[in-house]
Amino acid sequence: MRILFLGDIVGRSGRDVIEKQLPQLRQQLKIDVVIVNGENAAAGFGITGQICKSLYQVGVDIITTGNHIWDQREIMQWISTDHKLIRPINFPSGSPGKGSFFYQTKNGERLLVINAMGRLYMDPLDDPFAAIDKELSAYRLGGNVDTIFVDFHAEASSEKMALAHYLDGRVSAVIGTHTHVPTADHQILPAGTAYQTDAGMCGDYNSVIGMDKTSPIQRFTRKLPTDRLVPATGIATLCGVFIETHKNGLAKNIHPIRLNGRLQPTNLDVISS
């Protein structure tokens, strides 16, 4: 299976770069499924039903989220019927929506996507390790599911790395989100799981993690209340990872993807050759 995962979409510029780049990217890399983290898509805070629909229209198949999932109140109703939009699986029992989605590609391949959230320097949710273990008790990689992808939305790189090693060999990939900065540690772990600490964001990098620079700088230098943070509106970079799996579900390749905007772009010809 050929998977494209795109990191946190930040505001209008992040949505625009996906609309611009995704159709050609999907065709050139012969993508089977596109997963995006959309938790900052609505003006930097949360996501709306209309944004979900617009992302599906340009080729997104599944949307993961994180700590900003409930920032737009309307999404609490929307997520109950849109099962392709998932929230962290370790939210307390009874939370709207689900933490995983079982997807079948046009070729009949079966994919399980799990979204989880870390607890270090984050909201004190349920144990993500235990929550994923419980979900995996019903699935066997290479058995009743062909590929298992985990978006781990977490602040601490140590927590992300620990989860990846904990799941090594049981899932196809563990990719981190939340910090908005793409890391350079893409690798395949010893038992066959693809890993990168953070996929980066789809947003304007002439910013402070996607937000206009003025208010964050004021907060750090003056320690005074400032205006609400707003997304930067310059040209965005599309950031994510491309993962290819073997027939047994373990990872064959992982490549960072960076297109457009300020960051050095990926040479797609090398990946697609």
Catalytic site residue 68?
A: yes
DSSP secondary structure code for residue 45 in this structure: S
Q: Token pair for residue 271?
A: 């990946």
- Residue corresponding to tokens 């992302």: 55
SS3 (DSSP) at 27:
helix
CB 86 within 8 A of CB 113: yes
Q: Which whole-number Å values give the CA distances from 91 to 12, 19, 20, 34, in the listed order?
A: 27, 30, 33, 24
Residue type, 40: N
Say how far apart CA 8 and CA 154 lie, in whole Å.
12
Say how far apart CA 181 and CA 198 lie, in whole Å.
7
Beta strands in 88-237 (DSSP E): 100-104, 110-117, 147-153, 173-177, 187-188, 194-196, 201-202
Say how far apart CA 100 and CA 107 lie, in whole Å.
21
Annotated catalytic residues are 68
